[in-house]
Structure 1
Amino acid sequence: MMRGRRHYAVAVRRGPGDVVLQSREIAPYAEKHPLLKRPFIRGIIALGEAFVLGLRALEFSANQLMEAEGEGEITTREMVVTVILALGMTVLLFIALPLFIRQIIGRYLPGLFWRNLSEGLVRVLILMGYILAVSLVKDIQRVFAYHGAEHQVIHTYEAGEELTVENARKKSPLHPRCGTSFLLFVVIISALVFSFLGEQTVLMRFLSRLLLLPVIAGISYEIIKLAGKNQSFFLWRWLSWPGLLLQRLTTRPPDDDQLEVAIMALQEVLNQEEQKEVQPFPARAEQRFTAGRI
């Protein structure tokens, strides 16, 4: 999936020579309400929009693959149940479990600060362990390869080069503005913020983690945004380093077919936005892929 300012596109390879492309217009909430463009607030809005678009892309790609296998489409009810289960597992794994482990190891640590900090460190370890575990699954490895393809194609575009497989193949699968880096920053910053909270009951600790999550997401968004725009400065490169390191787990070198799919998605976004919102290719390079099935 690729996203521009006002459009997004999803390309799905259903089989050899069969790629389906879907593009939709986006109506950003921040365009209607200028207050939502302010620093820290815009990060919360961006996270919500990314979640919704991600669900739409996931539903579309899943339906295309099921159709290719002769199965029926995913119903709205099935999608809702899947989302609820996923959110429940996220809360259980990254909020409830670290709090439970904190209760056990906290009795051996001196001071409230260190007990709170231990919870954050446990959360980081859980995130790392989860990514390592899912990276062993063959289907997830293919997803990670598409993730790398997205980054390589974006690097190609940002370098002002023509969108071709040959050019994209030379680029890095790591990108400083990746969602993986954002997720890691959320976990790390939450560890620091929660370390300074006072004594609380177990219930209040749980609720405070939930309620402060949007605030932490807003802070993380601003850091990622600054780091991505200021890679020439040592400090911002240093801040980007942990996220880039984690991306070595969440990306894989893509094959040419995967690069083609990523190019299709980005080219469609550029076509839909008539290249007014983005930097054009040199001499308006010949379009290699078209919307629809190929």
Structure 2
Amino acid sequence: MSTKKCGHYSGIGGQAVLEGVMMKNREEYAVSVRRPDGGIETKKEKYEGVWGGRRITKLPFARGVFNFIDSMVLGMQTLTWSAGFYEDEEAEETKTDAVLDRATKGNGEKLLMGLTVAFSIVLAVAIFIALPFGISLLFQSFVRNASLLAILEGLVRLAIFLIYVAAIASMKDIRRVYQYHGAEHKCINCLEHGRELNVKNVMKSSRFHKRCGTSFLLFVVLISIVLFMFIRVEQPLLRLGLRILLIPVVAGISYEVLRLAGRTDNAFINLISRPGLWLQRLTTREPDESMVEVAIASVEAVFDWKAYLKEEFGYGFEEDEGTDAPAEPEGLAEADVPAEQEGLAGADRSAEPESLAEADAPEEPENPTGADAPAKPDAGQEASPEGTAV
């Protein structure tokens, strides 16, 4: 089977926050938020990660674990920052906050952030590892084959995950966050398909992307089914403990699969990416133009998209004209990057793609200015990891 490298990988990724989008490019990130007064506030900072860029964080398989933790920490930081615009302005610092700040010498917020991340990990292990394992034990007297029991456990885990995602997606307050998730994906798709980054082009782009964090989590669930089949231990507590110890291994493999999916394009990769793209129908929504404007502001703060389009697609931009209209190169080839999931993760189009085959297919770049282009959907974040559309 031939493997074709995706030639237009941008390397940027991000996530949705409250009324905004965070985008990350290498060691820089920017988070843009729509303020209550209607303006857009953007913060740009460097982020070298919890581990400070040590060599071990770049090693294959190990990097997935470190990137996942980094993206959780950065995600919490940017989400907290965005929420600050919508907090009660008259709220006063509580006595607990004051005592905590004094006890930690002003690092109370960082401590709470760390505790929140730790609690989230423990809760995830309890819900997605311990609970399915416990349910599978109820069938132990009926299912004697260890491999079949592991598969049953995996199916229970998958069902819990899908119910969890669907329940979150049904919450009214989450809908706007998922719209911003869609705006994040659309911006990345727009650039990776060779279009100038403007509202019109982004709105026409897909809200699905292969590198979305939603796909990463689904890979984790599916790969765990395979790995846990090889744990042949009779003692239940020891068997559960080995599953917990294997979580970093599962995350590392899942990250590499997601990374491969975002950089290569063949029938097998597209096939294994399809379930994640389907799942993004729940975790993304079509954004409106005001949301796309926020996402574009975040991208432009950390990514020179004009230089990217020039290098990848050969576009030139006339700076003295005061417009961003690129000079389209001769013989521009069809973009071979599949449309989006990351993620990741991940506009007001009137129609969604009817099938993921359409959502997934690469499309020919249009006039990058977006002028006179038909509004055709072009379907599709490193969980988040670097370069992942979450």
- Using the size of structure 1 for normalisation, the TM-score is 0.87
- C-alpha distance in 1 between matches for 2:318 and 2:159: 46
Give RMSD over aligned pairs: 2.8
Query: Is the Cα contact below 8 Å between 1:153 and 1:168 reproduced in 2?
Result: yes
Confirm whether residue 206 of structure 1 aligns to residue 240 of structure 2: yes
1:20 maps to which residue? 41
- Tell me by how many angstroms 1:94 deviates: 0.7
- Tell me by how many angstroms 1:201 deviates: 2.2
Q: 1:169/1:15 Cα in 2 relative to 1: closer, same or farther (>3 Å)?
A: same
Confirm whether residue 114 of structure 1 aligns to residue 162 of structure 2: no
- Tell me by how many angstroms 1:72 deviates: 5.4
- Residues 258-273 of structure 1: pairs in structure 2 closer than 5 A: 258-270=291-303
Q: Which amino acid aligns with 2:61?
A: F
- Tell me by how many angstroms 1:32 deviates: 4.7
Give the structure with the larger helix fraction. Answer: 1
Q: 1:72/1:135 Cα in 2 relative to 1: closer, same or farther (>3 Å)?
A: farther
Q: 1:282/1:93 Cα in 2 relative to 1: closer, same or farther (>3 Å)?
A: farther
Q: 1:83/1:6 Cα in 2 relative to 1: closer, same or farther (>3 Å)?
A: closer
In structure 2, the residue corresponding to 1:95 is in which secondary structure? helix
Confirm whether residue 226 of structure 1 aligns to residue 260 of structure 2: yes
Q: Deviations over 1:152-182 (max 9, x none)?
A: 0111122232211100000110000000000
Q: 1:101/1:39 Cα in 2 relative to 1: closer, same or farther (>3 Å)?
A: same
1:184 maps to which residue? 218
Confirm whether residue 60 of structure 1 aligns to residue 94 of structure 2: no
Q: 1:104/1:81 Cα in 2 relative to 1: closer, same or farther (>3 Å)?
A: same
- C-alpha distance in 2 between matches for 1:164 and 1:66: 31
Q: Deviations over 1:48-107 (max 9, x none)?
A: 22122112111211222216x544589626545543443332122111211110111232
User: Which runs of 5 or more structure 1 residues have no equivalent in the other structure?
Assistant: 289-294
- C-alpha distance in 2 between matches for 1:143 and 1:186: 23
- C-alpha distance in 2 between matches for 1:15 and 1:163: 25
Q: 1:49/1:214 Cα in 2 relative to 1: closer, same or farther (>3 Å)?
A: same
In structure 2, the residue corresponding to 1:253 is in which secondary structure? coil
Query: Is the Cα contact below 8 Å between 2:184 and 2:295 reproduced in 1?
Result: yes
Larger radius of gyration: 2
Q: Which amino acid aligns with 1:121?
A: L
- C-alpha distance in 1 between matches for 2:70 and 2:247: 16
Query: Is the Cα contact below 8 Å between 1:109 and 1:115 reproduced in 2?
Result: yes
- Tell me by how many angstroms 1:210 deviates: 1.7
User: Which runs of 5 or more structure 2 residues have no equivalent in the other structure?
Assistant: 1-21, 98-107, 325-390
Q: 1:106/1:16 Cα in 2 relative to 1: closer, same or farther (>3 Å)?
A: farther
